[in-house]
Structure 1
Amino acid sequence: MGGGSRPRWAWWVSAWYVVGFAEGAGAHAYFVVTGGLRAYDYAPGATQLLFHGLLVLDPLVVALVARGRAGGPLLAAVVMVADMLANWWVQWDAVLADPVAHLRPVGLSTITVFGVFVLATAFPLHRALVSSGQQHRRTPEAESDP
């Protein structure tokens, strides 16, 4: 992953972002391949658009974070807020009906845990990427100094 001198913790957080968003992209691709454009018919229209949009947004986050771009963590936070809200909205009645069923390590619980992780780390990671990027940038003034 790009970023040169990013701190070790930032490298690990970035790696988790890449794994998490790549898994999300894979899951959404699987749903569309197996269910077609109607894969999310159970959800309201705006949620369906979001879930289809994650086919583009998740890989975009992966690319930005893997390349050490400071905007990657911020986009990741926005994507996770939207994804968590949409999933909780769609599954709220099921959670109320059987809360224990949602404690397994897949689906809503995993999305929520990963989302909280992203929200807790997005701004520190953004700052680390900005700092590491500025260390490697050359300004025209710095290049003209003897």
Structure 2
Amino acid sequence: MTQQASTGPLSRDGEGRPRHLPRRVLFVVTVYVICFFWGTAMHLMDLAGGGHNSYASPAPAPIRVYFVALVLLDPLVAVLLARLRPIAVIVASTVMTVDASANYYVNWPQISQHPDYLLRPFGLLPFTLFALFVAVTASPLYRHLARIAGARKPISDNAG
């Protein structure tokens, strides 16, 4: 029995990537997914180290709750992105905007006293670079994923 080749917009080409998904889009999605799973791992390590008091800093309670919620939000974004859902880009942008704002709010005393605090390789530097990456790539990525989603939808029969 022979298997018929799929011709849909997400069928695989010979290189194992979805058809009509340019390498640059695949690269951007991959960076998002890796970084959001990395964020999940970081927040899980924080929680494993200090439990629900992991973020018991001078930060207001809503920010601490948000940091804990990232254990669920980050992997949700990563999975939606891996499934090439356009809504994932909106959620990713929102999560990163709130996360960046909260991190800078919490860390502002250190930043204002020691501006080199931003350059630490395991602190705000990689986080800030990723937030900027999301800010720059979100709109074109959303447009591309929306086109793919539109091509994925079956044509409905509106007669009757």
Give the TM-score taking structure 1 as reference length.
0.91
Q: Which residue of the other structure, out of 103, 125, 130, is the alignment partner of 1:114?
A: 130
| One-letter code aligned to 2:49 | T
Does residue 20 of structure 1 match 2:41? no
Q: What is the CA–CA distance in structure 2 between the aligned matches of 1:47 and 1:121, rounded to whole Å?
A: 26
Task: Summarize the alignment of residues 90-109 of structure 1 with structure 2, pairs less than 5 Å apart.
Answer: 90-109=106-125
Q: Which has the higher contact order (CA 8 A, sep 6+)?
A: 1
Residue 139 of structure 2 is matched in structure 1 by 123
Residue segments in structure 2 that go unaligned for 5+ positions in a row: 1-8, 11-17
1:1-146 to 2 correspondence within 5 Å?
Answer: 3=10, 4=18, 5-42=20-57, 43-141=59-157
Q: Residues 28-53 of structure 1: CA distance to partner in whole angstroms, max 9, x if unpaired?
A: 00000110000000022111011001
* Cα deviation, residue 115, structure 1: 0.4
The sequence identity of aligned pairs, in percent, is 34
Larger helix fraction of residues: 1
State the AA in 1 paired with 2:143: R
Q: Which amino acid aligns with 2:43?
A: H
The amino acid across from 2:27 in the alignment is W
Aligned residues: 142
Alignment RMSD: 1.9
Runs of 4+ that moved beyond 3 A? none
Point out where structure 1 has 5 or more consecutive residues left out of the alignment.
142-146
Deviation digits for residues 104-138 of structure 1, max 9, x if unmatched? 22221111110010111111111101112222332
Q: Provide the TM-score with structure 2 as the length reference.
A: 0.83
- Residue in structure 2 matched with residue 144 of structure 1 by the alignment: none
Question: Secondary structure of 1:57's partner?
Answer: helix
Q: Looking at CA atoms only, which structure, 1 or 2, has the larger radius of gyration?
A: 2
Q: Deviations along 1:37-90, whole A, 9 cap, x unmatched?
A: 000000221110110010110000000000010111110000000000000000
